[in-house]
Amino acid sequence: MISVLLVDDHELVRSGIRRLLDDVDGINVYAEAESGEQALKLVRAKRPDVILMDVSMPGIGGLETTRKLNSFAPELPVIILTVHTDDPFPSSLLKAGASGYLHKGCKVDEIVAAIKEVYAGGRYIGSAIAQNLALSLFPGNAGSPFDNLSQREMQVMLMLVQGEKAQDIAGMLHLSPKTISTYRSRLFEKLGVRNDAELTRLAMRHGMLDNT
């Protein structure tokens, strides 16, 4: 039996995925979490076999949670299940240690296939996402303005556009407020924006915000 931890801040999404997986032999959703922080606590208490996790959540979010999980439980496979199909989300999360990436619109058969594949030690990338990743490698393809952000810059950016205050971000990421201010200034410079409102609009135009 493959035990799965389901992490998503939307209860309806969690209950829907749970109902789908309850009908699958050999897979058991043993627990649910509504935030990355809660997921980390559950993993330390009872380690699952596989984690299914959203990217855009309040608090530290899916990217930072994946990075933290990879630091203390690198053998634990994480499958990202989200609305985002384009770079830089897939590449950033794979670099952070994710073993799989699926679109929320995929069929249950693909979720099951992904769980079994990463549980066996492999990787699984949804077909639409894999195509976008491959196309992004071709010369002349228009890239995202977020492509050149580091993992930490990406994490701070996601938290800013989700409305988190710099002081709170510093506490959640265990960094100083001055460091967060430096990251914020660097983001503005790299992305060509002047304030948080322009940053948020840019993120929305490139599908960086999960409105589900």
Burial zone of 169 (CB within 10 Å; 0-12 exposed, 13-18 middle, 19+ buried): buried
Helices (DSSP H) in 102-195: which residue ranges?
Answer: 108-119, 127-136, 151-161, 166-173, 177-191
Average pLDDT, the chain: 87
- The b-or-e profile of 98-122 (16+ CB within 10 A means b, else e) is bbbbbbbebeeeebbbbbbbbbeee
pLDDT (average), residues 190-205:
90
Given a cut of 70, is residue 3 above it in pLDDT?
yes
Cα 131 from chain centroid (whole Å): 19
Residue 36: the pLDDT is: 95
Question: Quick check: is 212 in a domain?
Answer: no
- Least reliable range by pLDDT among 39-53, 126-140, 146-160, 181-195: 126-140
Question: Quick check: is 14 in a domain?
Answer: yes
My answer on whether 103 and 189 are in the same domain is no
Domain at 131, CATH number: 3.40.50.2300
Given a cut of 70, is residue 206 above it in pLDDT?
yes
My answer on whether 44 and 114 are in the same domain is yes
% the chain with pLDDT above 90: 58
Residue pLDDT, tens place only, 101-138: 998 888 999 999 999 999 999 999 887 677 566 545 44
126 vs 134: CA distance, rounded Å: 12
ω into 139 cis (within 30 of 0): no
The two three-digit tokens of residue 100, written as one number: 């799989």
Residue 140: the pLDDT is: 47
Q: Phi first, then psi: what are they for 167, rounded to 5°? A: -65, -40
Question: Quick check: is 145 in a domain?
Answer: no
> Of residues 130 and 172, which shows the higher confidence score?
172
Cα four-point dihedral sign 85, 86, 87, 89: negative
Full-model pTM: 0.76
Residue pLDDT, tens place only, 46-105: 999 999 999 888 888 898 999 999 999 999 999 998 776 655 567 778 888 999 999 888
SS3 7: strand
Given a cut of 80, is residue 171 above it in pLDDT?
yes
pLDDT (average), residues 139-167:
79
My answer on whether 59 and 114 are in the same domain is yes
My answer on whether 21 and 76 are in the same domain is yes
Domain at 167, CATH number: 1.10.10.10
Which residues form the domain of 89?
A: 2-136
My answer on whether 37 and 110 are in the same domain is yes
Residue 148: the pLDDT is: 79
Question: Quick check: is 146 in a domain?
Answer: no
Question: Quick check: is 141 in a domain?
Answer: no
Residue 205: the pLDDT is: 79
Question: Quick check: is 192 in a domain?
Answer: yes
SS3 140: coil
Residue 154: the pLDDT is: 85
